[in-house]
Each structure stands twice: as C-alpha cells, then as structure tokens.
Structure 1
Amino acid sequence: MLGCAPHAGKAHALDPGYLDLRQLTQGTWQVLWRVPDVNGQPMDIDAVLPAQCTPSHAPEPISDGVAWVSTWVAECETGLDGQTVTIDGLERQRNDVLLRLQPLDSETITLRFTPKLPILTIPDHPSIWSIFISYFRLGFEHILAGWDHLLFVFALFILVRDPWRLVGAITAFTVAHSITLALATLGVLKVPPAPVEAVIALSIVFLALEILKHKEGQIRLSEQYPWIVCFCFGLLHGLGFAGALSEIGLPSQDIPAALLAFNVGVEAGQLAFIGCLSLAILTWRVIAPLVTSGFHSIAAPITGYAIGFVSVYWLVERISGF
C-alpha cells in the first residue's frame, strides 16, 4: 500500500495525500487513493481521473487506522500521457498530494500536486528537475512536520553554544542520516520502525540530560565533540526518515536524484529551523537586553527539563506500543 509512516503513528492534517496509478493492461489501471485523516474523517479532497477513465472518481474510502483509502480499477479509453488529473478541493487545504504513475511500458513517474497546483498534466517523460523539486519539498516538509526530529535539533541548538561546533554537528547529523536513509529506502537495511522511533526519543532524552549537566566554564564531551554524538544518533534518525519514502517509492530511472533531493530538503528544513531560532534569540536580546542577561542563567535548565519531559513521554509511549 502506498503511504507514509508518521512519527507518532497517527496521521495529521499536514500529512500528504497519495494517488497511485498502476497500469494492469493497455486500457486498465489499478487506482489507490489515500486521503489524510482530519479529526476522524477523510479530508475533503477527491482525486479526479481524466474524462475517458471510468469510473473517474473514487468509491467511499475506508479507514486503515492511519488514513482513508479507496481502491478501484479504472477503464481508460486512451493512454494517460498528456491527460490531466485533478485533486478536487486541494486548493482549500494546506496539504500536498503525491501522484505515482506506473505504466506498463515506461518508467515510474512521481509528480506532486499542491494547493496552488491542483491540476497536473501527465508528461511523456518527467524531467530530473521536476523529480528533484518533488522530493526536495517532501524532505523539507517532512522535517518540519516531524516534531521529534525538530526537538532533537532544538536540543542540539541549546546544548552547543559554539556556532562552528553547531554547524559541524548538523553536518555530521546530515551525513549520518543520509547513509541510513539510502540503505533503508533501497532495502539494504531493514529495521522494525517501532524500536527506531523509541531510540529516536531516547536520543532526545540524552541531549536533555546533557543540557541539565552543563556548567559554566566546563565543556562536556558532548559539547566539545558534538559531531560524534550527532553522527551516531543521525544513523538512527535516518531510519526514521526512511518511513516517508519506504512506501511512496522512488522513481526507478532517477533514484540518486530523488534520494539526493529528499536529503537536501531535510537539510534545508533543519537549517531553516535553526535560522528561525537564531533570529528569535537575536531579536529577544535586542528588545530586552537587561531581561536577557538575568534570564539566560535559568533559561537553559528550564528548557532542558521541558525537552526531557516531552522526550520521556514519547519514549514511554513508544515502548508501550511495541
């Protein structure tokens, strides 16, 4: 089944939708339409196939516990090349929808619908650039919707005070998760998702403890060589990122480009997040310099306890779900 494994095991309003079209015979297509769940109901969007396909609309979807799924077989009088597919109602949402087209006589195509582009024309041969953009956006949005990954980056931002060490740590984290993401997505490395999600929570607990153990004038090993810690934990986070690609799949003719684009998107999301944090702190120091000087000594411990509380909760929740 085509889909994405969210971090907490439940779909949310920002999960992408998925439309999978797999050609069975010259004029027959198997359709799988996966709609995000919104408060226990399918999102108000509908996949509309070209007019020469019957039926062109999905039957009533059935919940699979994560999203709402419809499957049917469509008879199309002609090929889909040059035809338009529409996601009706997407312009009213904030989600994207991925289209995966699997013809019999050509390579798999992956395209992306957005609220500003709810209608797509099926190309004869997609360009590498269009594939790169689709997977870049998927990676960028995946990191920004992954609260556990963002909390790890936030904890790292609080722990590592030296900007160059922070850059080195983020780079090591990116290199590590790129390795395991590629291995897991290509099927070389297979690890059950539940233990991976639990260990990701444990990695955040570790950083929270390091924040609380920090003492002025003393540099702990995790602060002096953060890239070592980040590389080790990045290998695990990469397995978590692989959940976003494991069922969506990769275009067989451009696997390297899709993997690179997804990783670049994840890295861009991380850097954008750190940039926002830096800007917020800089603004705070400019607006309230006197308050900042006294608040700094207690801000880190308070933040450490808050990060620890959330990450321990996730750890217990994920272990109990084994």
Structure 2
Amino acid sequence: MKAPLSLLLLRTLIALAMLIGSASAFADAIRPAYLGLTEEKPGEFSVLWKTPMLGDARLPVEPEFSGDAKAVTAVTTRTPPGAAVEQWTLRAPALRGQTLRIAGLDGSKTDVLVRIEFADGTKWVQRLTGQETSASIPMRQSGWSVAGVYLKLGVDHILFGADHVLFVLGLLLIVKNRWMLLKTITAFTLAHSVTLAIATLGYASVPDVPLNAAIALSILFLGPEIVRSWRRQTSFTIRHPWVVAFAFGLLHGFGFASALTSAGLPHSDLPLALLSFNVGVEIGQLSLVTLVLLLERSFRILEIRWPRWAEMLPGYAVGSLGALWTIQRIAILLAVSH
C-alpha cells in the first residue's frame, strides 16, 4: 500500500471517528421522519406524521406552523415495527407562505422529509435537518427543486453513512490497479442500483436489523483481505474484487433504499425520488473515490514518507470497526429475535 493513500485514509478515518459515537456507530439506525399533507378539500389537509422509534419511545419531534393551522380531528396513532405513525385532519386556509418548523429537531441526527400536495395538483417537497429545522412553504416549486431534495439526500447518505464509506475505502485499500478499480467501483454501483430500485419500487425488501448486521459483516470481511494484500498474498477477493464488490453491493443497495422506503413516500413520487436519490449516491461515491485518487497523486509527487504504523492503521481501522459493528448488530438481532 502506498504511503500517500495511507495518509489520506488515516485522515478520513479520524474524521469519521469524530462522527461515530455510541449511537451513531449504527450508521443507519435512526431513519428519517416523514411529514405528508394532502389537501382533501380547500384549506383542509389529511396529515401523516411518521417518526422513528428510539427503543420504546417515539422520537421527540413535532411539526409547527407559523400561521393559522389547527387540528380538527383527534390524532390516531399506530406503531408498526420501528416507527410511530400519527394521522389527523388539519385546517389551514392559507398554508402557502407559512413557515413550517420541526420542534425538537435541533441538533438531531435524523432528518424530516416533508411533502405537501395541494388540491390543484401542485406539491412542495423539502428536507429539514438538525441544522435547518424550518422552511417557508412557497407558492410554487419547480420539478428541478424537488429532484434536488432527493439528490442531496443521496449525496449525504453516502458521504455521511460511515459503513458505506468504509466499505468503499476498504476496496481502495485492496485494489491497486486503476483499471481493476474502475471495474470494481462500476460493479458495486450496478449492484446497489439494482437492489435500490427493486426495494424502492416494492418488489423486495430486507428487514433492517439483519440487513445492518450483514452490511457490517461486509466491512469486516474486507479486513483480512487488506492484510493479505499487504503480505502480497492472493485470494479470490484480491484476484476478482469486482465480483465481491457486486455481491456486497446488492446488500448495500437495500441499505440505500431504506432511506427512501422508511419514509413511506407516495407511489407518484417514487420514480423521481429513485432516480434523483440514486444520482446523488453516485455523485457522493465518485466524489469520494476521485478525492482519494487526486490526493494520492499529489502526495506521491511530494514524495512524502510515513511510518509503517501509519500505513497500516487505516486497514486495521476498517477491520476493527467492521468487527465492532458486526458484534453490536448481531447482538441487536438476537435481542429482537427473542
């Protein structure tokens, strides 16, 4: 393994470590919330408010409107696995122009996907986060703006999803040949694009708990392969990394899909959401790979040399985090099954 690449990966892993705490170590444990409003008759909206569960408690976030908006029916609640779903009817004669705020979202690790459909057929889609907890409801929203919401969601999901990032970095540690790297990343992309589409369109699904354990296991699997590559040994993975990337890419695609399917989007939004989200995932993934390769070349030109322990640390970090997540998620899987 070249020292310049090691330096970059070391810095990347240190940055990830700052993002990974006891709760966020489960990279996909907290799903986005979803707020859907549909105007059934002028000024009256049916509301669907779906929030993830933290253990046995609902995530403590609530929607608030700046203007006249009052519930006119009682709130009904049901609790499917991992979520709380509330429904009621809201009277809001002038919803456009109001500011929607999600109380309790400040500093949260979850997002809220908001979708408002008006009786005239127009709709507003927005994503609110712990850093941007409110937004003004516009008079109109362009299709490009809606696509941009899902595209940014895809970019963030790959760049801030620690398990997906570590898997790609693990591949970069194993694959040295640039042509083989292109084949490997392409295979991973094709695989997760297929399962992302299949899962999002509702043709297949994988329960979140075993899926997260399997994704963690895919990272752990790369650890010994990285060590073999250091020792100039060979294995099926080292000879044919694109096959392994394709196989595990199928798993990661289901993981990507959970960011969309867990929100419970209407079927009318799925084609646009799927396309835009997938493009965002690819932009995030290719940005990461391109950054690694460009910095590797820059550091090679500078002829920087680093201690042996610094060269080896990223590989051991990938394997160690994979092992930690595998143990944690299998423990959750066993607890749920009992």
Matched, 1:85 2:99: yes
Aligned to 1:99: 114
Q: CA distance change for structure 1 residues 6 and 108 in 2, over 3 Å: closer, same or farther?
A: farther
Size of the alignment, in residue pairs? 300
Matched, 1:257 2:272: yes
The structure showing larger relative contact order (alpha-carbon pairs under 8 Å, at least 6 residues apart) is 2
Matched, 1:133 2:144: no
Q: Secondary structure at the match of 1:187?
A: coil
Aligned to 1:54: 70
Match of 1:238 among 226, 245, 253: 253
Q: Are the counterparts in 1 of residues 106 and 133 from structure 2 also a CA contact under 8 Å? A: no
Name the amino acid aligned to 1:165.
Answer: M
Name the amino acid aligned to 1:240.
Answer: G
Quick check: 174-183 or 101-110, which moved more?
101-110
Within a 5 Å distance, the mapping from 1:149-168 to structure 2 comes to 149-168=164-183
Q: 1:96 Cα deviation (Å)? A: 5.7
Aligned to 1:21: 37
Q: 1:248 Cα deviation (Å)? A: 1.9
TM superposition score normalised by structure 1: 0.75
Q: Are the counterparts in 2 of residues 33 and 70 from structure 1 also a CA contact under 8 Å? A: yes
CA-to-aligned-CA distance 1:227-284 (integer Å, 9 cap, x gap): 2111111001111111101122445335323211111111111122223333554454
Aligned to 2:198: 183
Match of 1:310 among 321, 329, 332: 321
Q: Are the counterparts in 2 of residues 9 and 66 from structure 1 also a CA contact under 8 Å? A: no
Q: Are the counterparts in 2 of residues 21 and 100 from structure 1 also a CA contact under 8 Å? A: yes
Q: Secondary structure at the match of 1:242?
A: helix
Q: Are the counterparts in 1 of residues 170 and 318 from structure 2 also a CA contact under 8 Å? A: yes
Q: Sequence identity of aligned pairs in percent?
A: 35
Q: 1:142 Cα deviation (Å)? A: 1.0
Within a 5 Å distance, the mapping from 1:244-283 to structure 2 comes to 244-250=259-265, 252-282=267-297
TM superposition score normalised by structure 2: 0.72
Q: 1:136 Cα deviation (Å)? A: 0.6
2: CA distance, partners of 1:52 / 1:171: 51
Q: Are the counterparts in 2 of residues 173 and 233 from structure 1 also a CA contact under 8 Å? A: yes
1: CA distance, partners of 2:312 / 2:167: 16
Q: CA distance change for structure 1 residues 91 and 232 in 2, over 3 Å: closer, same or farther?
A: closer
Name the amino acid aligned to 1:210.
Answer: E
2: CA distance, partners of 1:216 / 1:309: 19
Unaligned runs of 5+ in 2: 1-23, 334-338
Q: CA distance change for structure 1 residues 73 and 218 in 2, over 3 Å: closer, same or farther?
A: closer
Name the amino acid aligned to 1:119.
Answer: A
Q: 1:205 Cα deviation (Å)? A: 1.6
Quick check: 71-80 or 203-212, which moved more?
71-80
Moved runs in structure 1, 4+ residues, more than 6 A? Answer: 40-43, 64-67, 88-92
Q: 1:174 Cα deviation (Å)? A: 1.2
CA-to-aligned-CA distance 1:209-243 (integer Å, 9 cap, x gap): 11111256665432332221111110011111111
Q: Are the counterparts in 2 of residues 84 and 121 from structure 1 also a CA contact under 8 Å? A: yes
Q: 1:47 Cα deviation (Å)? A: 3.5
Within a 5 Å distance, the mapping from 1:69-84 to structure 2 comes to 71=86, 73=88, 75-78=90-93, 80=95, 82-84=96-98
Match of 1:170 among 177, 185, 191: 185
Quick check: 207-216 or 309-318, which moved more?
207-216
> How well do the aligned residues superpose, as a CA RMSD in angstroms?
3.9
Q: Secondary structure at the match of 1:87?
A: strand
Q: Are the counterparts in 2 of residues 128 and 254 from structure 1 also a CA contact under 8 Å? A: no
1: CA distance, partners of 2:259 / 2:87: 24
CA-to-aligned-CA distance 1:79-103 (integer Å, 9 cap, x gap): 64x4333327899769864212245
Q: CA distance change for structure 1 residues 317 and 158 in 2, over 3 Å: closer, same or farther?
A: same
Within a 5 Å distance, the mapping from 1:214-225 to structure 2 comes to 214=229, 220-225=235-240
Q: Secondary structure at the match of 1:112?
A: strand
Q: 1:105 Cα deviation (Å)? A: 7.0
Quick check: 191-200 or 230-239, which moved more?
191-200
Match of 2:227 among 212, 216, 239: 212
